[in-house]
Amino acid sequence: MNDLIIQKPLPIADGDSQAFWDGLKIGQLLLQHCADCGHVQYYQQRICRQCQSENLQHKAASGRGTVHSYSVVYRAPGPAFKQDVPYAVLLIDLEEGPRMISSLVGKDFDVLDFDVPVQLETIKITDDVYLPCFHVVNK
């Protein structure tokens, strides 16, 4: 097996998403707010998915959300993730409205449940890539 096989897929920013990945490097999860129709969207693109306006503003999310659904992965999707299993993939409903895919920080799966509150935690992967992950907020 060669290096290609153990390397995790890393996001490669494009013209639509550069600001998003830059924001994560300073701890910000940027959402796009449409100044024309008020729609808030995740992920980044040049036009509003609701009204097609180009009048979009980046604003940092609060980082607060709840778990809409989740699944604990025991069989890795390829060799790159083998050392990580088990890990939990989450569908998070952000306080601002949008839903996103993320993963749980750590392996405390017992605290995972539908609708439990979670908080953003950016995780450094490389000097250029930070991923927006979440941990469960202890009540």
The residue ranges that bind other proteins (CB under 8 A) are 1-2, 4-5, 8-14, 17, 42-43, 68-78, 80-81, 84, 87, 89, 91, 98-103, 114, 125, 129, 131, 133
For the four alpha carbons of 12, 17, 23 and 28, in that order, the dihedral sign comes to negative
CB 36 to other proteins: min, Å: 20
Place of tokens 């999860």: 29
Q: Which of residues 123 and 137 has its CB atom nearest to other proteins in the complex?
A: 123
**Residue with smaller CB distance to other proteins, 89 or 111:** 89
Partners of 33 in beta bridges: 40, 57
Q: Least distance from C-beta 119 to other proteins, angstroms?
A: 17
Q: What is the DSSP letter of 20?
A: H
How far from 67 is each of 10, 25, 102, 123, CA to CA, in Å? 24, 24, 10, 19
Residue 2 CB, shortest distance to other proteins, in Å, is: 8
C-alpha 29/C-alpha 23 separation (Å) is 6
Nearest to other proteins of 25, 68 (CB atom): 68
Structure tokens at 115: 């609708």
CB of 57 to other proteins, least distance (A): 20
